[in-house]
Chains A and B, each alone.
Chain A
């Protein structure tokens, strides 16, 4: 939602005014709210990236700031100064492009710059795993038919390890 006054920045201050029993709702950005003197509630409800950025990168209007502001993402064309206004990056490539500028910001927001959570289970890895398990199952079946029980036991163990660990197989040398 955009600010109803300037129409540029996102609306982060939402309030209801009741005058003579007539209710009106307003959605404005922080800057316009401040300029108009609207009361900003005690509990700040929005984490403002603009606030964090203000006073972080150099002096306003300095040569350094205008240089940094012009850095452009080669993939989506977003320039850094645009991010400073909206608080939104343009694409996943913006992260490596603005890495130097984002690192201190991420540290301020999160107290860290390193992901330690989950990792997506990639399709390719899954498919490779599934295929390999299937191939080993077929070999196992053949081994049993040929009554090669030692080989069968070994295959069975490999399948089990693979299924429980979920790790895709390393390329095998000399596989049939």
Chain B
């Protein structure tokens, strides 16, 4: 199995050590780049895409910070392996979907990765734990500079980095935070907050980014525009708005606690109880119940789980993760039983990773 290493380790972005990680799960900054002289992925011929892949691979090998990267060509991976990478936020559904020469390059701790021949030839991303936009931007910026020494990027002085979709042209940058807002949802203020976000030129998406559902009170907030603003300005403005959202979440939380502390605690503990003792559980249930427990952790209720354990739960209880952990494909019914088993063990041990023997 190609993903052995990744399935045993857990990305550094999930370790729960980043700033404000009880509210902001992770920070991501990605840059879209294309190679000059080659049509964009959807118009390129097979051999051109193969050339793009090998040029990027060789540039990556020469970049010290990426020299340890694992290279995964999508064609060599099973649908299950690809689903695993989607669950891990390392590739998009689009990259997993098609059968062209597409690949993923990822450093072992998952802090930096690159999708090759997705919508654009190169999608370089930095993924960090908690709320750390600036350092994620700096990490991806440095690597972009190094790669530019070897790769001839499609660039125009007027329009910046040229991308397949005009919504990305310019900086080609999408900076985002994955933020957990249970109090704003519970107090029904979330609609107003989300509306405010879109009015200042930011976008709100679901758990897996573009086109995905909102679940477990997680929202992905990102910049919408890529022209007319420098990367630094974009990052600063997203940072400012995110801070305001964190403050409204905290205010809403205080209100809730003042009016209904016992009811909230009851909700948190019931959710914990269900996770801790269930025998059959769907991944949607895990997401929703662990959202309530995460809320409890943010409220400083003692005796629950660590943020890292909750992050681990969220990712490792997903269908492909479970199946790769046991080394075979499972029916949904079997998965729900195995998942309950796994969730119980994880919460009991507080983090160690059980691998089933069957």
Contacts and interface: CB of A to CB of B under 8 A. Distances in A.
Interface string B208-230: 00111110000000001111111
A108 to B, nearest CB: 10
Interface of A is mostly: loop
Given A110-B226, A112-B225, A115-B160, A120 B155 contact: yes
A105 interface: yes
Contact of A110 (B156, B158, B170, B213): B170
B316 to A, nearest CB: 21
A153 interface: no
B77 interface: no
Contacts of A43: 194, 204, 214
Given A1-B93, A117-B171, A121-B148, A89 B166 contact: yes
Contact of A95 (B159, B167, B203): B159
A1 B211 CA distance: 11
A132 B195 CA distance: 54
B94 interface: yes
B138 to A, nearest CB: 12
B279 interface: no
Contact of A111 (B159, B206, B228): B228
A124 B91 CA distance: 32
Interface residues of A, number: 46
A88 B164 contact: yes
Contacts of B212: 14, 45
Interface in A77-109: 78, 86-92, 95-96, 102, 105-106, 109
Contacts of A165: none
Contacts of B148: 120-123
Interface of A: 1, 11-16, 23, 41-43, 45-47, 49, 75-76, 78, 86-92, 95-96, 102, 105-106, 109-123, 126
28 contacts: A1-B94, A12-B211, A13-B211, A14-B211, A23-B332, A43-B194, A47-B167, A47-B224, A49-B167, A89-B164, A91-B40, A91-B43, A92-B37, A92-B162, A95-B159, A112-B227, A113-B228, A114-B159, A114-B227, A114-B228, A115-B157, A115-B159, A117-B170, A117-B171, A117-B173, A118-B230, A119-B155, A120-B148
